[in-house]
């Protein structure tokens, strides 16, 4: 069997997944970064793995990174990924490599959602479903052995990104009301553990599958505020305000707000699926668990 390649291993989900695979099979792991400066970080964190630079916007760079690779994980960052360039490059490079047995691709979209259904403004944000719906369109037509790991939920690290700057100094959750929705939440550690499981299981076990990682609970912004109040032992109200979102997103604020408005309600009919606990072999992390463990970030 060839190497397992983790694209963007300096990122959050890629790095967590690589760490799990590095524990179990470090010699079979190849980790990539898009910048030379990232190589030293990868070498320090994954000393027994092979670290490479790969610019997936350049097909020849992807071809070189896939040399001898049998499995790969693709988790694209929001806003900066052009799936009409990146995904065709990966598809073409995988065909040229001739060794790829499994492409594991993260999605974050309602099952069955298609490019034709996505409003143009949604797609232009290059976020969430607006990003992944384009990639899936290409991958479905590619004939490659693909496993989709679909997370139609918010990842829990978004708490630190979106709300920490107001919870910590002002003891409030502030997000624009026109972006509110009763969302599922899944932790980054559970997602990484699911990726690692899929990449470690026999290849035929998951080819052609779309694994849904969901949660049995949903939380509006007011629900999240109530959890913070309970865990911190102080009243943390929800207020309709864009201060925290502006602070976290900077120049990308308008893009993110457009995405969140388009996303609102899109996921309301997605049912909970037990796939995550079946993959993990344990209960999944709840939003209360996460806030409790990371409360130092918000105090």
d(CA 137, CA 115): 7
The residues facing 53 across adjacent strands are: 33
Query: Which pLDDT score, from 0 to 100, does residue 276 have?
Result: 96
Q: State pLDDT tens for residues 180-207.
A: 999 999 999 999 999 999 999 999 999 9
Average pLDDT, the chain: 95
pLDDT of 1 > 80? The answer is no
Query: Which pLDDT score, from 0 to 100, does residue 191 have?
Result: 98
Q: State pLDDT tens for residues 227-251.
A: 999 999 999 999 999 988 998 999 9
Structure tokens belonging to residue 57: 């916007």
The length of the chain is 299
Query: Which pLDDT score, from 0 to 100, does residue 124 have?
Result: 93
Query: Which pLDDT score, from 0 to 100, does residue 130 have?
Result: 87
* CB-CB contact of 262 with 126 (8 Å): no
Share of the chain above pLDDT 70, in %: 100
Domains of the chain: 3-155+186-216+269-284 (3.40.50.720)
pLDDT of 54 > 80? The answer is yes
Structure tokens belonging to residue 203: 């290849």
Among 3-7, 24-28, 73-77, 129-133, the minimum mean pLDDT is found in: 129-133
HEC readout, 22-33: HHHCHHHEEEEE
Structure tokens belonging to residue 161: 């990104």
Q: State pLDDT tens for residues 10-42.
A: 999 999 999 999 999 999 999 999 988 889 999
């Amino acid at each position: 069997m060839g190497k397992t390649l983790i694209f963007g291993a300096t990122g959050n989900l890629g790095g967590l997944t690589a760490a799990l695979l590095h524990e179990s099979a470090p010699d079979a792991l190849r980790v990539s970064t898009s910048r030379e400066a990232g190589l030293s970080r990868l070498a320090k964190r994954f000393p027994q793995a092979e670290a490479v630079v790969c610019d997936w916007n350049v097909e020849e760079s992807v071809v070189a990174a896939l040399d001898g690779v049998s499995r790969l994980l693709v988790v694209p960052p929001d806003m900066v990924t052009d799936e009409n360039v990146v995904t065709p490059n990966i598809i073409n490079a995988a065909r040229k490599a001739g060794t790829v047995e499994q492409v594991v691709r993260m999605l974050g979209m309602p099952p069955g959602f298609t490019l034709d259904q996505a409003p143009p403004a949604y797609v232009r944000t290059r976020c969430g479903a607006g990003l992944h719906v384009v990639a899936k369109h290409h991958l479905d037509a590619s004939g490659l052995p693909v496993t989709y790991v679909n997370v139609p939920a918010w990842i829990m690290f978004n708490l630190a990104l979106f709300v920490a700057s107001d919870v910590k100094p002002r003891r409030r959750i502030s997000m624009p009301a026109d972006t509110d929705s009763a969302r599922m939440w899944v932790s980054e550690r559970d997602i990484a553990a699911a990726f690692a499981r899929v990449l470690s299981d026999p290849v035929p076990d998951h080819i052609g599958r779309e694994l849904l990682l969901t949660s049995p609970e949903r939380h509006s912004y007011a629900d999240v505020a109530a959890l913070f109040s309970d865990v911190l032992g102080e009243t943390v109200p929800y207020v309709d305000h864009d201060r925290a979102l502006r602070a976290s997103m900077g120049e990308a604020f308008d893009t993110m707000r457009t995405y969140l408005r388009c996303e609102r309600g899109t996921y309301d009919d997605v049912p909970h699926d037990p796939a995550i606990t079946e993959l993990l072999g344990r209960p999944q992390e709840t939003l209360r668990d996460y806030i409790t463990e990371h409360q130092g970030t918000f105090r």
